[in-house]
Amino acid sequence: MSSLVMRRSFGLRFVAIAFAVVASIGLGLAQGDKAAPKAAGNKYIGADKCKSCHSSETSGNQHGKWLATAHAKAFEKLGTDEAKKLGKEKGVDDPQKADACVKCHVTAFGVAATELKAKPEQLKNVQCEACHGPGENHMKARFAAAAAAGDNPDTSKRQVVPEGEIKVEVEPKDCKVCHNDQSPSFKPFCFHERLEKIQHYDPRSGNKVESPLTACPCDDKCECKKGACAKLPQKQ
């Protein structure tokens, strides 16, 4: 469990898992293997698929919020004069055609074709699955749950997504796959400050970004030190 963000759903999720375990014991464990999501065969499906379920305001409109971030235009950015100038310094003619640039400006770069359900065209830009991993199993499970819930689902509560169905906790190291000094325009990366800019929490979850002022201990390991800890009263 990441301590970098305030997640209130953990308790709830734990209770739900405990309930599911008790329920499956009740059923003589017959459902046990069905309940476990299979990691194998989980493919990248592209952000357009997530859009169908993640664009309502009630649940936080993750797709709309993502569209408004630089991540959603990261590939187009490689076609700008600014990019061509940066490219030239690296001996690159067309950044949109050079792996040396494309690798951090698209989703699932370098992933085997057998693990992609979406076409490369549909995986341009830094999409949901760049941070949350492949979403095929999650999509299938949620469509099945929606079908089971019938015509009048209770949208006041969030559905409980079993652990492992999709990657939920995204940590600083997941961002630093791209936000590192291999980027020709690298700027120091303070996770909490950056997360604030791209956050897309569901208002019903109660989760929120913890302020770097309280989340980040003012020691040598804190990368937010310059920005955040400078604002704190210094310990004697």
Subset of residues 150 to 179 that bind ligand HEC, contact rule: CB under 6 A: 158-159, 161, 166, 168-170, 174-175, 177-179
- Pick from 42, 47, 210, 215 the residue near ligand HEC by CB under 6 A: 47
Torsion sign, CA atoms 58, 149, 37, 160: positive
Identify which range of 18-26, 115-123, 186-194, 223-231 contacts ligand HEC by CB under 6 A.
186-194
Applying CB under 6 A, what is the total number of residues that bind ligand HEC? 73
Query: Is 116 near ligand HEC (CB under 6 A)?
Result: no
Does position 108 bind ligand HEC by CB under 6 A?
no
- Using DSSP, state whether 44 is helix, strand or coil: strand
* Residue 74 binds ligand HEC (CB under 6 A): yes
- To the nearest whole angstrom, how small is the minimum distance from the Cβ of residue 38 to ligand HEC? 16
Which residues, 191 to 230, sit near ligand HEC by CB under 6 A? 194-195, 197-198, 200-202, 205, 207
Return the residue nearest ligand HEC (CB atom).
135
CB of 236 to ligand HEC, least distance (A): 34
- 53 touches ligand HEC (CB under 6 A): yes
> Closest distance between ligand HEC and the C-beta of residue 30, in Å?
25
| Spatial CA neighbour of 211 closest among 198, 229, 193 | 193
Q: Which of 113, 112, 88 is nearest to 98 (CA)?
A: 88
The answer to whether residues 206 and 10 touch, using CB atoms and an 8 Å cutoff, is: no
Options 14-22, 33-41, 133-141, 226-234: segment touching ligand HEC (CB under 6 A): 133-141
Q: Cα separation of 191 and 176, whole Å?
A: 9
**In Å, how far are 81, 119, 191, 212 from 199, measured between CA atoms?**
29, 27, 11, 14
Binding-site member from 37, 59, 111, 225 for ligand HEC (CB under 6 A): 59
Maximum CA extent, the chain: 65
- Determine, following the binding rule CB under 6 A, whether residue 49 of this chain makes contact with ligand HEC: yes
Contact 178, 75 (CB under 8 A): no
Q: How many CB atoms lie within 10 A of CB 49?
A: 19
Candidates 42, 43, 95, 212: give the one binding ligand HEC (CB under 6 A).
95
